[in-house]
Each structure stands twice: as C-alpha cells, then as structure tokens.
Amino acid sequence: MSTLVPAATGTGGVNGVALSVLIVLFLLVTVMGFWATKWRQADSMESLDEWGLGGRRFGTWVTWFLLGGDLYTAYTFVAVPAAMFALGSVSGFFAVPYTIVLYPIIFIFMARLWSVSHRHGYVTPADFVKGRYGSRSLSVAVSVTGILATMPYIALQLVGIQAVLEVAGVGGSSLLAKDLPLFIAFALLAAYTYSSGLRAPAVIAFVKDALIYLVIIVAVIYLPSKVGGWDHVFSAAEAKMAKPSAANPAKPTGAYIPNAQQYWAYATLAFGSALALFMYPHSITATLSSSSRNTIRRNAAILPAYSFVLGLLALLGWVAIAAGTKPIGLDGKPNAQLVIPQLFEDMFPSWFAGVAFAAVAIGALVPAAIMSIAAANTFTRNIYRDLIKPDATHAQEAKVGKLVSLLVKAFALIFVLTLDKQNAINFQLLGGIWILQTFPAIVAGLYTRWFHRWALLAGWAVGMLYGTITAYKVINPATKGHFGGSLDMIPVIGKMGYIGMTAFVINLVIAAILTVLFNALKVDSGKDETIRGDYFADADDPRVEKNVSMDAHLTTGTP
C-alpha cells in the first residue's frame, strides 16, 4: 500500500456498486454451473462422452449458444476493441471479415467431419486423423498442437477477466494483491467445470448471451450519442490514427482504413483466422456435440448474428477514442486492454457498469471452460489412451480428462503471468499460427486420401517451426519483447501478411511434394478405416461395427 500511485483518474479506488453487482451475478452463474450437472441428466457422468460432449444430443439452439460461447469471448469484448483503440482497423477490424467468411468455410467441411465422427465414434480431430491415415504419429502431432494452441487462447480469456477486475478496483500494486482475484475466479471456474463438464458452459452460455446482448444494445445505442454521434466517433478515430506513433514517430499510430500496403495483411489475418478457428479442439467439440449432420449447417446460416455484434463491439474501441477514455492500470501505466471496462465505468451508472463487467467476465469464463475441456478430451483420448494406458476404463479416462483440464488452465495462467498483455489479440493470433498447421491433415483428409501420412507430418513440422521462429523474431516496438506481433513479410509477394497463412502455404507445398516422392518410393501409406459413404452419414445411421461394444457404454452412460 505504501507504493500507491497518485490516483489515476477513474481507475483508482474500488467502485463499490459495480463490484457488488459483478460479484452477485458471478455467484449466480456459479450456482447455475453446479446445477447444470442435473440438466438433461445421463445415468452417469463417468464417461468422456457424457462429461465432454454432453452425450451428443444438443440441437440447433443449444449448439448455437455453445458455438457462440466459444467464438465470442474476451477476444471480442476486450482484445479486438483494444486493438481498434490502440492500432486501428488492420489490427482489429479484420475480425469482422474473419467471422463472416468463417461460416461458408465451416459449412463446407464440418458436415463431413460430423458424419465420419458419428460413424466411427470420433471425439477429437486427432481421432479422425488416426482412423483416416492409420498414423499414430500424425494423430499425436495434431493433438499436441491442439493443446498447445489452446493455451494462449485461454490466456486471452484470463486477460479479459483481469481487465474487468482491475478497472472495478480489485487488487493493488503488490504482487499478491494484483493476481489474487484472478486466482479466485479461476478456482471457481475450475471447480464447476470439474464437476459438470460441458453441461456447465452450455447452461451458462444462455446467461452469458442474455447479458452480452443487453450490454451491447445499451452500449451501441447510448454510448455513441453520449460522445457526440457516430460522425464524431469516426472523425476522432481518423485523427488519432493519423498522428505519429508514440513508439516510432516516423510512422502513424495506426490504420483508419487499410492502405494499399496493408491489403494483404488485412485479408490474410481474416482468412487465416477463419481457417484456424474450427481446427481448435474446443470448436470441434462444440460441433460434434450437435445432434445431427445438418445442425451445424443450419447454424452456419444463423451464426453471423454474432458477427454483427462483434463489429459493433470492435467499434466501441473507436467510441472510446471519441470519449477520451484513459485506460490506466493499477500500476499507473497505460494499458489498452482496459479500454472497454474503463469506457463502461466512465459512461454508465455504477450498477450498469457492474452488469457490463459481469458480461465481460462471464463471457471470458464460458469459453475458457469449453477450451480446457476440449484440450483435456484430446489429451485423454489421443495421448493417455493411445500412448500411456491403452486399457484404461471409461471412469479412468473421465478422471484423467478432469485433471488435465485443470492442468491446461494452470499453463494458461503461466502465459498470462509471463507474456506481454498489452496486445492480447496477439495471443489468439499466436495460437492460430500453430493450430492452422493441422488444417491440411484434417480438412484435406475429409475429402481425399491423396496426401501421404508422412508428407503431412513433415509439412506440419516445417509449418510449426517456420511459424514459431518467425513469430518469435517479431519484436514489440514498445516493450522490445519477442512474440510482439503476428505479421511478417510474405516471401515472393513481398507484402506484410499473417505468419500463420505463410506457414500454412509452406506446409501444404511440402506435403504435396513429399506425397509425390513417398508414393514414387512406395512408402506404406497406412490403413484407412473409413469408407466414402461415412462422410455423408446422418444421426440414424448406425456406428461402424468395430466400435459398437465400446460405444454402447458411451451413448448409454452405463459403466
């Protein structure tokens, strides 16, 4: 307390009313999370299918909420508006085309993945890869990548919760006081995820979406008029982006509208993120928990409602510019990640600021829960059962899954505590660079067995190495730290672009060249357990014989 900084405007001090509302709503959600175990209850939660896929019986609307739960997160509420506020449209608004082109993309291949997973009882993308290519190495590569890439994405959610708590005035400048609220929130999340599995986030998603829509509607109607209308918002943003940058005065602060040098960056960020999103274990989990092949396609037509909301939220970053919001942390330093909670606190009555804080915090918790469950599913099935203990019982699998979901959260916490939080959107882009490297094995595999399994593995390895090294070399102009951004020069084209996309193209080219080589050398291409008809199966088509005895447990939940 002795190190207290002279109170920075607004942030200093606890906002009692807002904090109380936040805590009440938060407790309400926690109670609902525990209650969720009873919802549409199965005989037993002691199987991975029940704990991790909610028994595969979610219809269009529950799936819609679940997908929304993991698509629209602290990324939407905190990271994207913060990027818009600090650096402008190329760094932030690309999220809008990203979440639009996403739906045609998933429309195209997700129904196939659902069908083949239904026929063969696959729960993770790595299950599919193993069945399709008969290659355990490729399946382990896919699952390790999934778990690794999920961690920075969960870390981004933690940054979101921390931002809310910091603006609400929880914490202090000492090391313990600063991080304690974060640990409390995570202990709660961990506890109810542990007992309810995927059911907890599905129930909470309803509350979360209701809160989010309430806050958004109020925010986009009320805030722009309060700061002088959209005209003023856009002119203030244009003026700020044109000013010389603080880190490098030779350059402007950011982009108001992308210029000719930035087209590639904007397009590759949008397209790369869209290709990447449905490779994450959690997105695939949400998809596979739907009840029929076409649920996901119907969803692809109604999900864009979320994209519209995302665009409006992104623009709140520019509303904050017009409002003159000063996001200053408890340590007295400016932190762009605080901009949206700070805007809410400055502009809303305290009680509504509390509601808005709750929306952001719960909006970060739900996806964090879904992500950690999915990463745990992947570990259990594709590493624990395939490599460590092949004869594990279902109860053992469910137990390992629960423990790993805790472990993944702990690793995410380490990301938050060690990496630079100033540009949190970069956490998600970093995850995207990695997860995108599993795209050729998974999606190409849904259509063709032309690619050779070892060629795909080699392509993946080179893509991972190139992506990681290139991203490591990007230096943050403000902090001089590594992993400072996700853009780099695209070879051949000579423009800046998303590193993930470049790595993805290199990955594909290597996989194609080596496929030709390995086929010429007649290297064993592995056994494919799927047939063409499997990719078109629907809910009433039975599972393939070999799995029947095992899956009887999974679908009925009997031990």
Partner 1 sequence: MSADTDVDHDTVPPANKGLLAVAAVLLALPMIALLWVSSYSRKDPELWGFPFFIWYQFLWVFLCSAMTYAAYRLVLKARPHRPMPGHPDHRSREENVR
List interacting residues with partner 1 (CB under 8 A): 89, 93, 96-97, 100-101, 103-105, 107-108, 229-231, 233-234, 257-260, 262-263, 266-267, 270-271, 294, 297-298, 300-302, 304-305, 307-308, 311, 315, 531-538, 540-542
Contact 278, 110 (CB under 8 A): yes
The dihedral built from the CA positions of residue 211, 212, 213 and 217, taken in this order, carries a sign that is positive
Q: Which residue has the tokens 């989010």?
A: 212
Nearer to partner 1, 398 or 501 (CB): 501
- Taking alpha carbons only, the member of 368, 309, 313 closest to residue 344 is 313
143, 383 contact by CB (below 8 A): yes
CA-closest candidate to residue 204, choices 14, 392, 24, 359: 359
* Element of type H or E holding 396: helix 394-418
Q: What is the DSSP string of 307-371?
A: HHHHHHHHHHHHHHHHHT---B-TTSSB-GGGHHHHHHHHHS-HHHHHHHHHHHHHHHHHHHHHH
Task: Please check whether residue 378 is in contact with residue 280, taking contact to mean a CB–CB distance below 8 angstroms.
Answer: no
Q: In terms of CB distance, is 263 or 450 closer to partner 1? A: 263
d(CA 401, CA 394): 10
The minimum distance between CB 109 and partner 1, in angstroms, equals 11
Query: For residues 103 and 348, which CB has a smaller minimum distance to partner 1 in the complex?
Result: 103
**Whole-angstrom distance, CA of residue 279 vs CA of residue 333:** 37
Distance CA 84, CA 86 (A): 6
Helix ranges (H only) for 88-135 are 89-92, 95-120, 125-133
Q: State the chain's maximal CA–CA distance in angstroms.
A: 73
Q: Rounded CA gap, 81 and 315, in Å?
A: 7
Among the listed residues 41, 14, 27, the one whose alpha carbon sits nearest the alpha carbon of residue 165? 14
Buried b (16+ CB within 10 A) or exposed e, 527-548: eebbeeebbebeeeeebbeebe
Between CA 373 and CA 128 the distance in angstroms is 18
Smallest distance, partner 1 to C-beta of residue 99, A: 9
Distance of alpha carbon 552 from alpha carbon 559, whole angstroms: 10
